[in-house]
Amino acid sequence: KFAEELEAQGVPLLDHVAGMPLDHSEDRVEVAKAIFDALPVGIGHLYLHPAQDTPELRALCSDWRCRVADYQAFLSPVLRDHIRNQGIQVIGYRALKDLMPVRSENLA
């Protein structure tokens, strides 16, 4: 019910949430492509944990290989082209914030 109220007020809500799994580091571009291909139309959020390979990362995260592979995959022109060819528009949270209605009591 709360989500319905927010939508009625014009607040954009996420329609779908997906994430890059951290259980294997192979073929991250292909994994990302499959996730993007499976996302239905709407406002989706894909969470991932990209990181550069550092001694600190290796010491802190047992899944560091996945994080480094995600960093490399999301810099890949192959993945960027695939996303574009699927008609997916990548946006940040600022774009969603800009869509939110302005309330006069919030202005000060």
pLDDT digits (tens, 9 = 90+) for 25-80: 999 999 999 999 999 998 899 999 999 999 999 999 999 999 999 999 999 999 99
Q: Structure tokens of 8?
A: 């009625």
For every residue of 45-80, which 3-state class applies, written as one string? EEECCCCCCCHHHHHHCCCHHHHHHHHHHCCCHHHH
pTM (2 d.p.): 0.79
**CA nearest neighbour of 106 among 8, 3, 9, 5:** 9
